[in-house]
Structure 1
Amino acid sequence: MPDKGTAYVSWGYNHEAYSRSTIRFQNTTTDNYDFTIANAHAHESPDMHDFWRITYLTIPQYQMNGGYFFKKGNGWGVELSWDHLKYTVDDYQTVHLQGNIRGQAIDRDTLLTPSFLHLQHTNGNNYLMVSAVKKWPVWQGKHLSLDVVTKLGAGMLYSVTISTILGSSDSKGHFHPQGWVAGTNAGLKLNIYRRFFVQGDGQLAFAKYTGAEIGADRVGRATHHFVSYAYMYRFGVNFPL
């Protein structure tokens, strides 16, 4: 590669799983509740049907990456990534609910029905991160080469939350910063004729929602944190400078 470094862009898709989470719901302005649900389980939504159609490209769980590796032999780079994940709290699971709802103290196991409580970050659970990237060449052929690539980064949760809380539903939500995220990746990058590459990564991330807007009036807030485990596959183009 030329000594001035290499820029790159890539596009791909992902699958993930989530740790359980304790979620706090609050609204003392237009309603009266402050309670938590403990040990809540959530799932992904890959939505990979018809993903090859141009109008469907951003429907599945996808990621966009752009970065720059510094001069040859250095191995270090910097990357800006947008990871579009989806997070939905399972309906009809039993959780422990504790707190106050409209003047009534509650401390009991509760079935989460969609009409009572539903929470999803599906448009999405978006990680906007800046990362330091390091690569180690492990094999070099005539037209192919293989690198181990790792990265460590942090950024914001720029997300959309859709919710139902005590019968009050928000069917759309809107994009806004809702917290922060930090994560690390490790994977293999196969370079093809130096100009193209395919890459597979595993990602471990910690996400903390500090104030997701909930309810029809979006005055209520949900706060929680969780760990996500994802694997990602993508195709990209290298631009040697």
Structure 2
Amino acid sequence: MAAAAPSPAATTGPHPKDHGSVYLNWSYNRDWYTRSNIRFRNDKSDDYDFTFYDAKAHDHPSMSDFWKLSNLTVPQYDLTVGYMFHDKHDLGIEVSWNHLKYVVDDYQTMRVAGEIRGFRFDRDTLVTPNFVHLQHTNGNNYLMVNLVKRWQLAAGRHVVLSAVGKVGGGPMISYTISSIFTSHAEGPFHYEGWVAGTSGGLRLEFYRYFFLNTDFQGAFANYTNSYIGADRLGRVTHHFGSAQLIYGFGFNVPI
């Protein structure tokens, strides 16, 4: 009697000789941020300590001509390297570099309170770039180590649809562009704080080696060490929530 043909799921699941798979994922993102209280202080080369309350910020997609090789890293992008264990729990681990961009809205009116060179104040203020401008656009970078869980939803002979959940955290290696009282500063890349987050999304795999993905990530970012002022002796501290919609493609390498 002839052996029964394997089911479609059997042809798309982990190969019996596979010990796992490495994957590489390249994506782009859109971002949204909660309002935040932003504190500015300098007691070394100047004398100020004041706070913006409920400051609004937006992202900066920069997607024009993103398809050119020279422009691949100009937009808000995500680069991820991971390993799926192919165990019974379908778990994995990954390292991700999420390049978001965060720009505090110029010309917004908000409560500003504190002290500047001996003058104390607490009032609603129209904040212009000649007063303060702040953006983490090169960027608001999340370097995260994530635990990954996968659930297979449907499988065909050469296509698998899965749900993927992640949770993790890590440092923010960011690059801040800012000015205060027209004193301008850019960078450098350095440790500016930490981030923790979780995400959920879908992955559509083709022929075991290629996949498309989409994720929605929620994160908490805490900036504890951002520089401001040309001499980089001023400090900025704030924290906020971020929502990130991620879409991209990747490659699997079975081991």
Give the structure-2-normalised TM-score.
0.93
CA distance in 1, matches of 2:112, 2:121: 7
2:9 equivalent to 1:16: no
- Counterpart of 1:47 in 2: which secondary structure? coil
Query: What is the match of residue 59 of structure 2?
Result: 44
Aligned residue for 1:55, secondary structure, equals: helix
CA distance in 2, matches of 1:135, 1:83: 20
1 CA distance for matches of 2:49 and 2:177?
19
Q: What amino acid does structure 2 have at the position aligned with 1:90?
A: D
Provide the residue aligned with 2:235 in structure 1: 221
Distance 2:87 2:111 in 1: 55
SS of equivalent to 1:15: strand
Question: Quick check: 1:117 aligned with 2:108?
Answer: no
Letter in 2 for 1:185: S
Structure 1 residues 32-51: Cα deviation after superposition (integer angstroms, max 9, x where no partner): 00000100000000000000
List alignment gaps of at least 5 residues for structure 1: none
Report 1:83-232 matches (<5 A): 83-170=98-185, 172-232=186-246
AA in 1 matched with 2:40: F
CA deviation string 1:148-172 (max 9, x = no partner): 00000000110001111122111x2
Aligned counterparts of 2:129 and 2:187: Cα–Cα separation in 1: 17
Q: How far off is 1:74 after superposition?
A: 2.7
Deviations along 1:37-83, one digit per CA (max 9) or x if unpaired, are: 10000000000000000000000000000000102433100000000
Q: Any idea what the Cα deviations from partners look like across 1:62-107, whole Å, max 9, x if unmatched?
A: 0000000102433100000000000000000001011000100010
AA paired with 1:122?
A: T
* 2:7 aligned partner: none
Give the alignment's Cα RMSD to 1 decimal. Answer: 0.7
- The CA distance in 2 between the partners of 1:10 and 1:37, in whole Å, is 37
Aligned amino acid, residue 79 of structure 1:
E
TM-superposition CA deviations, 1:198-236 (whole Å, max 9, x none): 000000000000010011111000000000011000100
In the other structure, the counterpart of 1:234 is 248
* CA distance in structure 2 between the partners assigned to 1:69 and 1:174 by the alignment: 35
Report % sequence identity: 54
Task: Report the AA paired with residue 222 of structure 1.
Answer: V
Equivalents in 1 of 2:165, 2:156: separation in Å? 22
Structure 2 alignment gaps of length 5 or more = 1-13
Partner of 2:20: 5
Structure 2: distance between partners of 1:72 and 1:25: 49
**What's the secondary structure of 2:70's corresponding residue?**
helix
Q: What are the Cα deviations for residues 183-207 of structure 1, in whole angstroms up to 9, with x where unaligned?
A: 1010000001110000000000000
Which letter maps to 2:167? Answer: L
Question: May I ask how many residue pairs the two structures share in their alignment?
Answer: 240
Higher alpha-carbon Rg = 2
Q: Which residue of 1 aligns with 2:6?
A: none
- SS of 2:191 mapped into structure 1: strand
